[in-house]
Structure 1
Amino acid sequence: MPVQPSNVSKSAPIVAGSAAPEEHRNPVFLVHGLMDTSYKMRTIASYLRGLGWEVFDIDLRTNDGTTRLEILARQLAVEIDRIFAPDSHSERSIDLLGFSMGGLVSRYYLQRLGGMQRVQRFITISTPHNGTIAANFSMRSGCMQMRPNSAFMQDLSSDVDRLKELNFTSLWTPFDLIILPPSSSQLGIGTERSIPVLAHPLMVSDRRVLLEISEALSQPAKSPMRSNSVAPNIDSECV
């Protein structure tokens, strides 16, 4: 459905974004954050569809911080494999966008579950790539993994340079009160954009963020660096 102005944040008028030539566009997969559902990503989905992109999403379960992030990442892997089954889309690449916790779930999929073989462009929005101090106030296992210097964070940091193989973009706001410090969204690789959005939840509807997303998705993709390794077999009992 074409994007309608009423679907987009009214903080400023929406402006048409960049759109890559149709033959260069990949399907875009959206991953929501903590305590959210795919509904949270509706403005981004509507905006991109209005520009001609094919958009997919997922409802992670459970997404209240009680489920470990690697289990959520396995759900993501299963859903992507279901939609883009090898027998029907064997050579089809996708682009991946994660908001907040969804960016970490996406990174685990990329770095540990074979996602690097399929994804060409990776965008994160207000993701605590280096953890968030706010997670220190929760004893839920998934939240504890988002603490700075947690074992989960250290594991993903050990080979973070793998993301250089992709078109990687991190969008964040210096006014974030959920990602503490806000600079935790910076990895020092790829493209980083600081956008002065006044609150963490507004990052998925602010027009400036939408324009940055469409611009990032319109950049020429790097040539995929295929690995000889085989992606791990996902056990359905783990999801």
Structure 2
Amino acid sequence: MTRARVNDLVVVLPGIMGSRLANADGKPVWDLSGGALGRGLRTFGGSVKNLRLPKDIGDDHPGDAVVPVGLMPDVHALPGIWRPIDGYTDLLGWLERSFTLTLGENLIPFPYDWRLSCRYNAERLRKTVARALGRWQDSAPERRDARAVFICHSMGGLVARHYVELLGGHEITRRVITLGTPHRGSLDALVHLVNGLRKGWGPLGVDLSAFARSLPSLHQLAPDYACVTGPEGLAYARDLPGLPGVDPALLADAARFHADLRGAADRPAPVPLHAITGIAQPTLTTAELTGDVLTPLWLIDGVDERGDGTVPRLSARPTNAENSGYAVPESHTPCEQHGSLQNNRGVRDALHGLLGHEPPFHRGEEDTDVLLGVVAPSLLEPGDPYEVEVTVPPEAIGTTELRIDAVLCPANGTRSLTSPLRHFGGGRYGTTFPAPEPGAYRMVVRRRGRAESAVTSLTLVGESGE
């Protein structure tokens, strides 16, 4: 296969938890993925205690000698922080195979300490890009005009945007591509902060809730839109006094972080930002506070806008700075879940167009398949059956009954299980797998014979005693 020519420096930023972390001796402190993920979490307690951040850390490093050492290769998760995410090895390999990109030369993975403020990591990104782009430009005369292109999954997009918008990165950046970045936050982050691990999976023998609540990054992922219902309608979380589990100073600082990004977009010629947005997946968008418990809800103002299952569609592209004209359209809208966007076939099609300096590839209307909305557990107690529910849009209801299969694939490569979904009427389909063994799983739902309809959900099954 002929590789498409790319003369720029391509930088790949993972999402939260997507970077491997090690201590001063090189010993991993966060490096759990794939088949070892479930077992490894049982012995993760000591690392979590050491990884917890001090209060009032702001945009600084805690001085604990923890450093990022690479991207997570496979399915990874930390209950109480974020939903399971797939790895980045396949994305990096695809980029090398498809384009004139070489790891360490003009393809640069950027691991970062995902515990810390996006501002801190943006400053590290500035230094990394300055070195790498300088070397690349100096390596051949035809590369003198090379610029940086950022491919960012989830929180990585916030890090890249802060660098580009506020640290001078716009001067050397060709474009920023975000995959499911919560530009306006995610309700999941707020729910994790408030509710902790009071439901499901127990405390894993350590106080993961306290660890989560110490992270500036997780507060910066909380919604930057009115999302908590109250007697006068929806309110911003930052405006609710005494919200349990949340550090009010970190939440207020997160609001300033997002406000700074909005304001910085006001320059006359902003860097092109391409927001790839997962759609059609049931996505928690608002919540109701009862006592000290936050109950998440699917609807906002009575409307189910959906999203990628983690980031609501309204959050997956930046809001405009006032009067800036900085409109950010959705560059591609795959029917896919958040943790698998970087490995989705349609997303790869869009990336090929963007990196090839051609218009993004979009499937024509005649090729549009029925969009499958998938609900499956992200965390499953040991011994519990695995239930999958699929919904189809109203316009597909009443048509010929769809033939839909679910395939449960262990991340350790052992034998997959396939189950056809039953139709329950009203556009609802479902199936139940017997209780899976402990470990990490990819669950792929697709219409039979229509590979392009596939939606991938990620699940972590606990072990007894967790």
Q: Same fold (TM over 0.5)?
A: yes
Unaligned ranges ≥5, structure 1: 3-15, 222-239
SS of the aligned residue for 2:111 comes to: coil
SS of the aligned residue for 1:219 comes to: coil
Corresponding pairs, count: 198
Shift of 1:92: 2.9
Between the aligned residues of both structures, percent identity stands at 21
The aligned amino acid for 2:15 is G
Unaligned ranges ≥5, structure 2: 20-70, 74-86, 102-106, 194-212, 225-254, 282-307, 319-326, 360-466
Residue 81 (str. 1) matches residue 220 (str. 2): no
Larger radius of gyration: 2
Query: Match of 1:142?
Result: 217
Query: Match of 2:94?
Result: 47
Q: With structure 2 as the length reference, what TM-score do the two structures score?
A: 0.39
Residue 151 (str. 1) matches residue 198 (str. 2): no
Residue 56 (str. 1) matches residue 188 (str. 2): no
Residue 117 (str. 1) matches residue 99 (str. 2): no
Residue 184 (str. 1) matches residue 315 (str. 2): yes
Of residues 108-117 and 148-157 in structure 1, the stretch that sits farther from structure 2 once superposed is 148-157
Residue 32 (str. 1) matches residue 81 (str. 2): no
Residue 93 (str. 1) matches residue 147 (str. 2): yes
Shift of 1:35: 0.5
CA contact 1:135–1:143 (8 Å) conserved in 2: yes
CA contact 2:133–2:148 (8 Å) conserved in 1: no
Distance 1:162 1:212 in 2: 27
Shift of 1:43: 2.0
The aligned amino acid for 1:31 is L
The structure with the greater share of residues assigned to strand is 2
Query: Match of 1:170?
Result: 275
Q: Whose RCO is larger (CA < 8 A, sep 6+)?
A: 1
Shift of 1:44: 2.1
Q: 1:164 to 1:122 in 2, by over 3 A?
A: farther
SS of the aligned residue for 1:121 comes to: strand
Q: Deviations over 1:61-114 (max 9, x none)?
A: 2x1xx3111011111112112222378376431211110000000000101111
SS of the aligned residue for 2:12 comes to: strand
CA contact 1:173–1:196 (8 Å) conserved in 2: yes
SS of the aligned residue for 1:158 comes to: helix
Shift of 1:161: 4.6
Distance 1:190 1:25 in 2: 26
Aligned positions of 1:3-42 closer than 5 A: 19=4, 22=5, 25-37=7-19, 38=71, 39=73, 40-42=87-89
Query: Match of 1:237?
Result: none
SS of the aligned residue for 1:82 comes to: helix
CA root-mean-square deviation: 2.6
Match among 206, 214, 225 for residue 352 of structure 2: 214
Match among 331, 334, 339 for residue 195 of structure 1: 334
Distance 1:184 1:82 in 2: 32
Q: With structure 1 as the length reference, what TM-score do the two structures score?
A: 0.74
Shift of 1:156: 0.7
SS of the aligned residue for 2:156 comes to: helix
Distance 1:49 1:132 in 2: 32
Query: Match of 1:6?
Result: none
The structure with the greater share of residues assigned to helix is 1
Distance 1:162 1:209 in 2: 29
Distance 1:135 1:163 in 2: 33
Q: 1:88 to 1:98 in 2, by over 3 A?
A: same
Distance 2:188 2:353 in 1: 31
Shift of 1:165: 3.0
